[in-house]
Amino acid sequence: MSLNNSKNAAAKPVIRLDNISKHYQQGNETVRAVDDVTLQILPGDFASITGRSGSGKTTLLSLIGGLTTPSRGEVEIFGEAMSSLDDDALSSLRANRIGFVFQFSSLIPTLTALDNVRLPGMFGEKSVSPKDAADLLAWVGLSDKLQNFPTELSGGQQTRVALARALTNHPSLLLADEPTGNLDVETESEILTLLRNLNRERGMTIVLVTHNPELAQHGTRHLVMQSGKLIENIIVNKEVLIRE
Amino acid sequence: MKEINLFALALQNLRRKPYRTIVIGLCVAVATGSLFAATIVLRGVQHSLTVGRARLGADLVIVPDGYETLAQEAFITGQPSTFYMSDVAEKKISTLSGVNQTSPQVFVETLSNASCCIGEFFLVGFDPETDFTISPWLTTHLDGKALGPFDIIVGDRILLREGETVIFYGTEFSVVGVLEKTGMGIDRTIYVPMEGLRSMIANSETLAEQTLEISPKDLSSIMVSVKPDAEILDVAELIEANLDGVNVFTATQLNQAVGNQLQGVLGITFGVTASLWLMSLFTIGLVFSLIVNERQRELGILRAMGARRKVIFQLVMGEAGLLTGLGGLGGLVAAGVLLTGFSRLIQLRLRIPYLLPNVFEIMGISLLLLLLALFTGALASLHPALSSSKMEPYAAIRKGE
Amino acid sequence: MKRLSTSGIVVAVLGLLIVITPIVLPVCESLLELANGKQVPMSCHWTARAEMIFGALIVVVGLMIAFLKKPGERQRLYHQVAFLGLVTILTPLFIIPTCMHPDMACNVATKPALIILGGIVLLVGLAGSRTPTEPSSEATA
């Protein structure tokens, strides 16, 4: 049984997954990292994906972002089937319309914070000027850390830089894989505030993988993964869509 | 960083691990520099032999039997040698079929640390009437002006210049000309008209610190030019058949003598250099495989940011090319500086004729070797570049975790 | 033991090489006796002495650079290194020129070795005397 949120029923989904599966061979065993998931993320959604370690959260996020191809099923993003896009087209999509924030340090250690933020400009439609990068870093509260290298920044500061970097090309969709994974509660809260501002003030669609179910309550949709399956897809006003 | 581009990224990546970069760069530098040095020395020897042979003028050189090696040594390095045979030999040779012209030479070695000067000099008495070694030069440089018996022509490495006078064995001579550099023994030779040399020998008993025991009929060598329609080797065989106690060698054999000397040294050098290149190739290939492996996650994240496969490929190849290019350039510069600085030492130690090739040839060789260095980097990093660019972004990110 | 500046060590090693060059590649004694007993002065002897002194000075400056902490102080010393490198080059060429004869040991080996080493010292000095980099700040929590 599935129920749609009546408010967003008319909007075309940003992301649409139809019976998506992702399998790996591990020796003689087939690992079903994602198993037959059907899902829609609507424009302006702030979807959180939770679940235990190994439940398939990160794999699901990677499928959404085109970082890996499904073993079965179809991924549709911005109305286009990913299977119809070649690698160059997928790269262009990621460069111009999707922003990624990863778990652990994903910054280039030999580049300053400013240059790390400017980096995606190499792959997008236009380069990022030092001023634009500085503005983004100021928005995340790091205007005094422009010339610092990642090793000179704390974990929280690195995550902020990664967030600023993900916003460089003004993406419509932000995919964040446990960005607060190794941060303290206070810093985690600060990062969450930034994400909420992006969603509410700029209408950015966000998909956030988090280990913390409490964080999920701050979004608009809560997805729960278990053993590769999507067992819960909850609108945060407590309306249950799917329950296994 | 002013500009964020592949080149800047590659450079930053190299600076990230300075010791690794320096070690690999040194590897390439040593290989490139060695190959450059060996090639330049080889070309320098060939250049010198070409120039020297043209200056020598003779098709055949006749010396007393058993002195062939010393004579070749004298021509090649200018190492003074003294040996003598009777002038009867010249009279006989001039009558043989195929012989166009003959000209005698007499060798005299000056004293080392004589009162005049430091170091020994190689005096070569020549007959201005019959000579065809120096005379062409005299025609062009002295307008065919007649040479006085005590007028001398000196090689490029003799520290005497036009207008200066010098005393050998008590007899004063005047320098009227300086020969162009050949890189061969001619550069250390002083050419004295036979009349002046014989006079010096005769007067050495009374005027010099040491008496010269050289008979007026003694000759050291006979230069022979062969008729245009005759075969040089045939004439050489004819001379050896008709004269006892002499040795005949051709200009080609002179080159071969140099070649034999060099063969061993250059063979080892080229062999070592080839091994160095191979070692560099494997080392770079291995190191870049390790680099790509350790930066798997980073490359995956670049792909997530929108980098195309081609960009990842270019980044890895570019880094390798930059490393080997800079290493190669460093090697070329270092080898160039050392070759230029120590060229005389190389020449003396290896006992070879050596004249630096012209600038364009050196630049051409340098460019070729730089391209070889770049190609080595490209070849070595091809597999790691291909494998990293083909990997799915997610797989790369997971692998690096 | 506090971390020493690598470049200071490099300068000191170069200085040491300059000092030992006239020992490894010897020049003539101060006077050379000819066959007739006449004694000719050999300027290369004094060239070598002077170069050994400059080399020793380079070693001292190199060690000072190695042990100094502040980039600004090091920069001033690099100017001295560059000057000493220049003097090392100019000495056998113009200040105390070596012998006339091009095939003498001083010209064949010692002089080119000193000029090359002096050139490297000069380049290191010039490179080091550029704007000093500030030490990086500590990461904040």
Give ipTM to 2 decimals: 0.88
Contact across the interface for A151 and C140, Cβ inside 8 Å = no
User: Which residue of C136, C137, C141 is in closest CB contact with A154?
Assistant: C141
Cβ-Cβ contacts under 8 Å, A152 against chain C: 136-139
Cβ of C60 under 8 Å from any chain B Cβ? Answer: no
Around A227, how many Cα atoms within 13 Å sit in the side-chain half-sphere?
2
C33 occurs within a structural domain: no
Q: State how far the Cα of B93 lies from the Cα of B63, in Å rounded to an integer.
A: 12
C116 occurs within a structural domain: yes
C32 occurs within a structural domain: no
φ, ψ at A35 (rounded to 5°) = -125, 100
Cβ-Cβ contacts under 8 Å, B113 against chain C: 32-35
State the smallest CA–CA distance between residue A186 and chain C in angstroms: 12
Cβ-Cβ contacts under 8 Å, C102 against chain B: 157, 159, 344
Rg (CA), chain C: 19
Taking each helix axis from N to C terminus, what angle separates B343-350 and B309-341, rounded to the nearest 10 degrees?
A: 70
Question: What 3 state SS string does chain B have?
Answer: CCCCCHHHHHHHHHHHCHHHHHHHHHHHHHHHHHHHHHHHHHHHHHHHHHHHHHHHCCCEEEEECCCHHHHHHHHHHCCCCCCCEECHHHHHHHCCCCEEEEEEEEEEECCCCCCCCCCCCEEEEECCCCCCCCHHHHHHHCCCCCCCCCEEEECCCCCCCCCCEEEECCEEEEEEEECCCCCCHHHHEEEEEHHHHHHHHHHHHHHCCCCCCCCCCEECEEEEEECCCCCHHHHHHHHHHHCCCEEEEEHHHHHHHHHHHHHHHHHHHHHHHHHHHHHHHHHHHHHHHHHHHHCHHHHHHHHHCCCCHHHHHHHHHHHHHHHHHHHHHHHHHHHHHHHHHCHHHHHHHHCCCCCCCCHHHHHHHHHHHHHHHHHHHHHHHHHHHHHHHHCCHHHHHHHCC
Contact across the interface for B4 and A115, Cβ inside 8 Å = yes
Nearest residue in chain B measured CA to CA from A103: B401
What is residue A150's DSSP assignment? G
3-state secondary structure of A72: strand
Contact across the interface for C38 and B157, Cβ inside 8 Å = no
Q: What's the pTM value of the predicted model, to 2 decimals? A: 0.79
Q: Where do the domains of chain B lie?
A: 6-50+258-399, 66-244
Question: Would you write out chain B's pLDDT as a tens digit for each of its 401 residues?
Answer: 667 888 888 888 898 888 989 999 998 999 999 999 989 988 888 888 777 777 777 888 899 988 888 888 787 777 778 888 888 888 888 889 899 889 999 998 876 655 445 566 789 999 988 888 777 776 677 766 778 899 999 888 787 888 888 888 888 999 988 888 777 778 888 999 999 999 999 988 888 777 888 888 899 999 998 898 988 889 989 998 988 888 898 877 777 777 776 777 778 888 888 888 888 888 888 888 888 888 888 999 999 999 999 999 999 999 999 999 999 999 999 999 999 899 888 888 877 778 788 899 999 999 999 999 999 899 999 999 999 999 999 888 887 66
Contact across the interface for A123 and B311, Cβ inside 8 Å = yes
Cβ of A110 under 8 Å from any chain B Cβ? Answer: yes
Q: Which residue has the tokens 């509660």?
A: A185
Q: Count CB pairs under 8 A between chains A and B.
A: 80
User: Which residue of C139, C140, C141 is in closest CB contact with A151?
Assistant: C139
Angle subtended at Cα B30 by Cα B28 and Cα B33, rounded to the nearest 5 degrees: 105
Q: Which residue has the tokens 């085109």?
A: A66
What is residue A207's DSSP assignment? E
Nearest residue in chain A measured CA to CA from B12: A110
Cβ of A169 under 8 Å from any chain B Cβ? Answer: yes
User: Which residues lie closer than 8 Å to B342 by C-beta, 6 or more apart?
Assistant: C108, C109, C112, C113
Owning domain of residue C114: 45-130
User: Which residue of C40, C109, C112 is in closest CB contact with B118?
Assistant: C40
**Structural domains of chain C, count:** 1
- Mutation to test the A interface, candidates C133, C137, C140, most A Cβ within 10 Å: C140
- Report strand pairing: A29-41 vs A46-50: unpaired
The number of beta carbons lying within 10 Å of the beta carbon of residue B161 is 10
